[in-house]
Structure 1
Amino acid sequence: MHTIFVTGTAGSGKSLLTARLLEWYSSNEVTPISINLDPGVSKLQYDPDIDVREFIDFYSIMDEYNLGPNGSLILANDLISTKIEEIQNQVQELNPDYVIIDTPGQIELFVFRSSGPYFISNFYSDTKVTLFTMDGTLAISPISFVSLLFLSQSIKLRLGIPQINVLTKRDKIIEKLPEILKWSNSMIPLLNSLNLEKDTEQSLLSKDIIKTLYKSGNVLSPIAMSNITMSGMVNLSAALSRILTHGEEEHKDES
């Protein structure tokens, strides 16, 4: 069993990417399932096979502990790790090849508190990988692009498993995409673009950050992906295969 954790900032396309991955693997003769780990989400782009909202009621938490929406979200996300056994039991009953886990939209509550790393560390799976969704409409600015790379590295450090960066909304940034890909593949074009920024202080800080990331060898070039047209899915699938199955596509044995 292979597990894909889909992370990213709110509105970056996590849920839609989860839906597309389900479609992709289902069409390739393997059995995927989805898990929604966001206790506060009201609407999803897919019908989850396992839903944390069955175990954690966001609105009941508000009433029981007399908390506002933000306080309830914090407590609800902290409770995720206490439900790992129930979720794992449901996964075992379904016996999938791939588990695609849609993590909470408030990434800071999942990744930077203890619940998220605990869940990822203790969730049983043969192999695991994180997808970090980088909102393409934010990445068109060199300073914002550096910020997303820095956040990506922070998540990788916190979760401690292999990671793939996915540049989402490819179809919305098609004219800017060649330049963004140049920034991804070489430090020099990115530094040149940062030199053109009007905010000198932000530009200098961004250059220091990107130089450090390149020097450490920790720049993960993103795979450009459109959740609407599925453009880029072949590249993403290949990257996932290299990590999860060592490049070998998995197919269900026919009996």
Structure 2
Amino acid sequence: TAYLHARRTPPYVINLDPACANVPYPANIDIRDTVKYKQVMKDYGLGPNGAIITSLNLMCTRFDQVLTMIRQRAKQYSACLIDTPGQIEAFTWSASGSIITDSLASSHPTIVVYIVDSPRATNPTTFMSNMLYACSILYRTKLPFIVVFNKADIVAPAFARSWMRDFERFDQALEENRSSYMNDLSRSLSLVLDEFYSDLKTVAVSSATGEGMEDFMKAVGECVEQYKNEYVPMYKRILEEKLKLDEKERQRKTDEIASNMEVLSLHPSVEPPPIQEKIHIGGVEEENAEDADILRG
């Protein structure tokens, strides 16, 4: 956010991490103002991850208000930054996370940014775990995707790019690792993810010094075009297919109701015989005599 503020193009910032103790940036919308994470744990008897998912579920019920606020502020801000929980399974693979992501992507150009800690990723096993996470997020959201190697001022992430381009270098780094089991697994995963690497956008940045931010903004611009050219047509196609399926389902129900009505018409209910009322032609005396005969009979 500091880079965008320095350029006088401040972003609209939303924090969706309910378990975050301190937010190191000014947030326009903060989930912690709406949902109390520790209170959710206490009220529902949940652990950390369960409380995060439940907090997101509660926030999801009011997310239409968030979308309205984003639309109202669209002309005032250059971009909207949304910070999600670091627990990937709690957001990416939850129903509320999917609803939030799809709601944003259906109304605004949306980009997923996955941040990797460069010093930790120097371990080839940790690096492979990060790439596997990145791959799962990409195929889950199907949105334009950028992998950002942060803390480039501490460790230059050139090693990561070389590992993605050259399997032999990654294999050499694995040989220096101690765990033989993890080496075999990481080696196999590297071969599987080779196609994933070929189209992956990667950027090296430093949030402390601002290094690489221009490259990051350039990658964001490319992803916006990718959103317009790839995601929007795909979304429209999926929406059209869903509408067709809904129409077929409505037609099926209509035909089923019509068929049931035809069956009912083929088996009409048996009408009771008409009531034959006795008509008295004579006067009152004749009526009394007739009634007496009926009682005697």
Give TM class, smaller chain.
0.7 to 0.9
The structure whose Rg is larger is 2
Shift of 1:36: 0.5
Correspondence list, 1:90-105, <5 A:
90-95=69-74, 96-105=77-86
Could you report, residue by residue, the CA deviation over 1:16-38 in whole angstroms, capped at 9, with x for unpaired residues?
xxxxxx23233445452100011
79-88 or 155-164, which moves further after superposition? 79-88
The match for 2:158 among 178, 181, 187 is: 178
The Cα RMSD (Å) is 2.2
Kept in 2, the 8 Å contact 1:153–1:218? The answer is no
The match for 1:113 among 86, 94, 115 is: 94
Kept in 2, the 8 Å contact 1:103–1:110? The answer is yes
Shift of 1:242: 1.0
Other structure's SS at 1:173 match: coil
How many positions carry a matched residue from both structures? 223
Correspondence list, 1:12-161, <5 A:
22-95=1-74, 96-123=77-104, 124-161=106-143
**Equivalent-residue separation in structure 1 for 2:185 and 2:47 (angstroms):** 36
Q: Which runs of 4+ in 1 moved over 3 A?
A: 26-31, 66-71, 215-219
133-142 or 117-126, which moves further after superposition? 117-126
Other structure's SS at 2:210 match: coil
Kept in 2, the 8 Å contact 1:149–1:219? The answer is no
The 1:221/1:188 distance shift into structure 2, 3 A limit, reads: farther
The 1:142/1:66 distance shift into structure 2, 3 A limit, reads: closer
- Counterpart position of 1:238: 218
Kept in 2, the 8 Å contact 1:55–1:83? The answer is no
Q: Which has the higher helix share?
A: 2
**Equivalent-residue separation in structure 2 for 1:140 and 1:111 (angstroms):** 25
**Equivalent-residue separation in structure 2 for 1:87 and 1:154 (angstroms):** 26
**Equivalent-residue separation in structure 1 for 2:178 and 2:217 (angstroms):** 39
TM-score normalised by structure 1 residue count: 0.78
Kept in 2, the 8 Å contact 1:80–1:119? The answer is no
Unaligned runs of 5+ residues in structure 2 are 227-297
TM-score normalised by structure 2 residue count: 0.68
Other structure's SS at 1:222 match: strand
The 1:37/1:218 distance shift into structure 2, 3 A limit, reads: farther
Taking only the aligned residue pairs, the percentage that are identical comes to: 26
Q: Does 1:202 align with 2:182?
A: yes
**Equivalent-residue separation in structure 1 for 2:201 and 2:223 (angstroms):** 15
**Equivalent-residue separation in structure 2 for 1:62 and 1:192 (angstroms):** 46
**2:224 maps to amino acid:** L
Could you report, residue by residue, the CA deviation over 1:83-117 in whole angstroms, capped at 9, with x for unpaired residues?
21121122123223311101113222111212112
Other structure's SS at 1:56 match: coil
**Equivalent-residue separation in structure 2 for 1:26 and 1:126 (angstroms):** 22
**Equivalent-residue separation in structure 2 for 1:155 and 1:86 (angstroms):** 26
Shift of 1:64: 3.2
Other structure's SS at 1:45 match: coil
The 1:135/1:64 distance shift into structure 2, 3 A limit, reads: same
